[in-house]
Amino acid sequence: MHGAESRGLAQGRGSMAAFEEGTALETALRESLAALINVAAEKVLLTTSTTEGCNIVINGLELGPDDEVVTTDGEHPGLLLPLVASGAKIKNARVTGMPASEALEAITAEVTPATRLIALSHVLWLNGHVLPLADIKRVTNLPLLVDGAQSVGAIPVDASVADWYTVSGQKWLCGPETTGALYVADHESLKPRMRSYFALARTDATRLAVVHLGHPLVAGLRAAVADLPEWGFRRAAELVARCREALLSAGFEVRTEAGHGTLVSFRAPGEPVEVMKAAYERGVVIRYLPDGWLRASVGWWNDESDIERLVEALAS
């Protein structure tokens, strides 16, 4: 990022050389993100967030009051609010209070002949459960939009099972703020209501892009993706299992089932906001959730001592 900023200051950002360098950076980033989520690079465009990606898809589908969208009761506003704004009828499958094994049945039971879209998260932000995307697509054979905010960089992802899959750059990829991406299986399937220069200059999925990311942001996210170690997913899975077991052993209620994402949702005595603040004072960052639970995020960069500090902070 610093190198891109320095070159921009020294050489200017309006030259042909700067334009060509920026285009090459964007291409390289799209290629690395595509490889990470197992899709073709020409089907990936850069965005500022998963929320922007969801809006691009939902607006481009031109949904209306006669259309139904099946989602879940565990969605983040970044997906849910674009759905609300579309005017479509939203059907919420109850999954957050159910065993993870029942999610497929709960979601597919909401499908009717009026369903035009299934839109949901790969990993639910409230409890860390991984939804069975391939099975949902197989059973329903309906267009599938996936919010990948809590999956890309945290667990292995094959975005090709979906029609659209959003990527967050600043979360599990540890990239700069306001970076992300969107996988589009068929860009001709969308009729964008917002257009930019890309709509004239590009003929692949990038024609849907609305916002141009600055070169330093692109360089920063590219470096972050390159920094993801080959053993990262395996290490994260080991640590989240240890975290879950440590919380259970310490007597805390844990609603996240074993073998899912890298989020652990739990309860501790006291008001969630105050518990979160007290933990922060002890150098431990957790989050309180709108439904009254707490959540710990466990990445490959953590270690066993972090889990010990979490339990100690909650027990104090």
Contact at 8 Å (CB) between 143 and 117? yes
Exposed/middle/buried for 79, CB within 10 Å: 0-12, 13-18, 19+?
A: buried
Q: Binning pLDDT at 50, 70 and 90, where does residue 106 land?
A: very high
Residues 162 and 308 in one domain: no
CB 71 within 8 A of CB 63: no
pLDDT band at 316 (very low <50, low <70, confident <90, very high): confident
Do 184 and 100 fall into the same domain?
Answer: yes
Say whether pLDDT at 6 is over 80.
no
Q: What is the 3-state secondary structure (H, E, C) of 75-112?
A: CCHHHHHHHHHHCCEEEEECCCCCCHHHHHHHHHCCCC
pLDDT of residue 4: 65
CB 63 within 8 A of CB 199: no
pTM: 0.95
- Is 33 found in the same domain as 142? yes
- Same domain for 218 and 74: yes
Clarify whether residues 263 and 182 are in a common domain: no
> Can you tell me which residue has the tokens 């942001």?
217
Which of 186, 206, 226 finishes a domain? 226
Q: Which of 204, 226, 248 is the last residue of a domain?
A: 226
Number of domains in the chain: 2
Residues 17, 149 within the same domain: yes
Task: Check whether residue 221 and residue 253 sit in a common domain.
Answer: no
Q: Are 191 and 238 found together in one domain?
A: no
Residue 89 sits in the same domain as residue 206: yes
| 43-72: pLDDT as tens digits | 999 999 999 999 999 999 999 999 999 999
- Of 194, 209, 226, the last residue of a domain is 226
- Helices 304-315 and 232-249: crossing angle in degrees, nearest 10, is 30
Q: Are residues 201 and 254 part of one domain? A: no
Residues 26 and 108 in one domain: yes
The CATH number that applies at residue 299 is 3.90.1150.10
Q: Whole domain around residue 276: which residue ranges?
A: 232-315
Task: Specify whether 27 is located in the same domain as 128.
Answer: yes
